[in-house]
Structure 1
């Protein structure tokens, strides 16, 4: 297929009452090769379309339902996040058509574009998955991280593997189904020329309501069984790894918060995503005066739960060890409107180019990590996505 069909807009975190009344007005995109100041250019673009985010603490004076502009979808790749953090951006993306930053401004409409007639689509088939690394090479990378930890270079590094599969037919119905998976707080899709992505993420990278910032890092996974829940609650290794990321996220929020306002509201709560238990914490703060969107993205991207600690050292190691770029995964995707911003972390995310589906999964590596168990955990995270994408 040379182009991907476009369908009804289903942006993660878009207002529920507006979600099927949106029409694209304009978009802006940026690739790593474009250089320049992408965070500043993004702010300028949005301000030109009734979305002034130079000061996130400034209250909006126009009611949402009386504005022509509803809001904007925002996608930021993991590589773009690393670029904003002045860190290595890693291996090349397997989906060159997918920009590293996309902002799409939407207006309201009473006549949304109807979906493609199912009878006009080619039958959906998905071929065999080809991984970017074998279990052996994945385990070797884990051992390399453990060696670096023993030398004091890092305390934790998140390693992510990639797999792709050929397909025929329209991939968008399959990508859309990801958003219906249990626990997909940021379920939805985003599309562009030659690419489409589907998200089933449960993790909040950053949410702003009024002047309050919130992030909800997830770290720690077990099967969704009574034994799995007990193991996750009592695991010294998982709790230590989780608290390390909580401390990292507290530090990131402190860079954009009023002094002394960062709090941990909920520590190590057990939530369910599909057939897995995961440990989640909630950290919040009050926005610093005069903080703009560009400042926010530079401070929090890429997310600490998918990089490691210290973040810069972990990003250097990721760039060395991962053979394929993170593409659509481990970045940010969500919705922006004056007075509210809600970006999910693009874990549990798949993407299509014109010929193949791409999927990523991984986990945090600490000194106590067992390579065999870590490889199995990454496979367990990918399994519900693979099953959903395969379904006709």
Structure 2
């Protein structure tokens, strides 16, 4: 194990449950080989340290646009890819932005990558975290009251009125004590409808696990093209909710603002060609909510490495605001509890593609408590009470899945 420059170790097989965005060809047939860990406060550039670790394990992260491995086959014992998680704090470090309050789950690294070997049969015999007893979830404890959340929204509106920012995403945290094995509950979260990145990532040695039901693509690189799919705009998944979302000038303006931010993020990435909006304000369903999604993409004209890509897109614009660095300064001042495993990135890096989801709708279990986050984008027209209600609506399916 290497300390201080990103931690690397050999590890035992991962618990059952596919990592987020793992290809179907690898699911249930991969074995954890090596692990990288980096914590907030560790020395070194996490983007470069991560890239070096993955490159040393044979993954083409120095040239993500490479397509010569597209038809690569994997024999037993060959490295098929890596699961990756990057926290919002690590994203701020990569972007040179202000850091907010500490994470409420400090045992979870801020960058965590697992390199997997491929096998023709699943070598993983584990079925859980090792805990015994029935699952019991206690009462949720919110890190701020409804009035404190609404006050934060009002303070963002005041900052917008002063011209400090145009939009800020405000996120709240809650946690609940639990007893028993958390992995079945985490798998229920990962299986929620619309979870494009549904999966579980766990570190038995560290005593933690996370699950995501994220529907949102932070960044995907495939076939020589880089793509992001920002989501912004939410309503109940009813006929009336659909009509309201499509008719809302506030939601559309907020959405377009983030699309412009994502276009700028990709345009700043060295090696990309013209950035285009392939789809704008398409409404899709996640659990019992309608959400508006756009597709922004660009060709990779030259070599593009993982470190530059992460610095360009993290933290994701739809969970920060605009301008991004100014919005992150507001977030650091407003939110009383760190974003932990949420609002970062989680997904898969393979030989021929990269697919990272934005870690919204993401929870963490740290051995004694389960943690969840939810929020929304604030503009000049935001109603504080409505914004608090929207965050609660996003959290509801997660809490229900955990409690089942």
TM category, shorter: over 0.9
Aligned residue in 2 for 1:106? 116
**2:334 is equivalent to residue 326 of structure 1:** no
Query: Which aligned pairs between 1:226-375 and structure 2 lie closer than 5 A?
Result: 226-256=239-269, 258=271, 261-375=274-388
Give, in angstroms, the shift of residue 288 of structure 1.
Answer: 4.0
Query: Residue deviations 1:136-187, cap 9 Å, x none?
Result: 0000000000000000000000000000000000111101111211100000
Aligned residue in 2 for 1:224? 237
In the superposition, relative to structure 1, how do residues 259 and 340 fare at CA in structure 2: closer, same or farther (>3 Å)?
A: closer
Question: Which secondary structure does the structure 2 equivalent of 1:122 belong to?
Answer: coil
Task: Give 1:69's match in structure 2, choosing from 66, 79, 87.
Answer: 79
Aligned residue in 1 for 2:7? none
Task: Give 2:52's match in structure 1, choosing from 44, 50, 54.
Answer: 44
61-70 vs 206-215, which moves further: 61-70
Aligned residue in 2 for 1:85? 95
Question: Which secondary structure does the structure 2 equivalent of 1:277 belong to?
Answer: strand
TM-score by length of 1: 0.96
Aligned residue in 1 for 2:107? 97
Question: Which secondary structure does the structure 1 equivalent of 2:198 belong to?
Answer: strand
Aligned residue in 1 for 2:193? 182
Query: Residue deviations 1:100-153, cap 9 Å, x none?
Result: 001110001224223427998311000000000000000000000000000000
Aligned residue in 2 for 1:173? 184
Work out the CA distance in 1 between the residues paired with 2:171 and 2:130: 38
Work out the CA distance in 2 between the residues paired with 1:189 and 1:369: 34
In the superposition, relative to structure 1, how do residues 324 and 119 fare at CA in structure 2: closer, same or farther (>3 Å)?
A: closer
Work out the CA distance in 2 between the residues paired with 1:97 and 1:118: 16
Work out the CA distance in 1 between the residues paired with 2:181 and 2:382: 39
Aligned residue in 2 for 1:214? 227
Work out the CA distance in 1 between the residues paired with 2:219 and 2:70: 24
Question: Which secondary structure does the structure 2 equivalent of 1:64 belong to?
Answer: coil
Q: Runs ≥4 in structure 1, deviation > 6 angstroms?
A: 117-120
232-241 vs 120-129, which moves further: 120-129
Aligned residue in 2 for 1:162? 173
Give, in angstroms, the shift of residue 286 of structure 1.
Answer: 0.8
Work out the CA distance in 2 between the residues paired with 1:355 and 1:292: 38
In the superposition, relative to structure 1, how do residues 339 and 34 fare at CA in structure 2: closer, same or farther (>3 Å)?
A: same
Aligned residue in 2 for 1:144? 155
Question: Which secondary structure does the structure 1 equivalent of 2:293 belong to?
Answer: strand
Question: Which secondary structure does the structure 2 equivalent of 1:280 belong to?
Answer: strand
In the superposition, relative to structure 1, how do residues 6 and 286 fare at CA in structure 2: closer, same or farther (>3 Å)?
A: closer
Any stretches of 5+ residues in structure 2 without a counterpart?
A: 1-12
Work out the CA distance in 1 between the residues paired with 2:176 and 2:58: 40
Query: Residue deviations 1:241-269, cap 9 Å, x none?
Result: 00000000000011126565211011000
In the superposition, relative to structure 1, how do residues 146 and 107 fare at CA in structure 2: closer, same or farther (>3 Å)?
A: same
Native 8 Å contact 1:329 1:346 kept in 2: yes
Question: Which secondary structure does the structure 2 equivalent of 1:191 belong to?
Answer: strand
Question: Which secondary structure does the structure 2 equivalent of 1:160 belong to?
Answer: strand
Work out the CA distance in 2 between the residues paired with 1:362 and 1:178: 18
Work out the CA distance in 1 between the residues paired with 2:328 and 2:237: 31
Count of aligned pairs: 387
Give, in angstroms, the shift of residue 281 of structure 1.
Answer: 0.3
Question: Which secondary structure does the structure 1 equivalent of 2:308 belong to?
Answer: helix
Any stretches of 5+ residues in structure 1 without a counterpart?
A: none
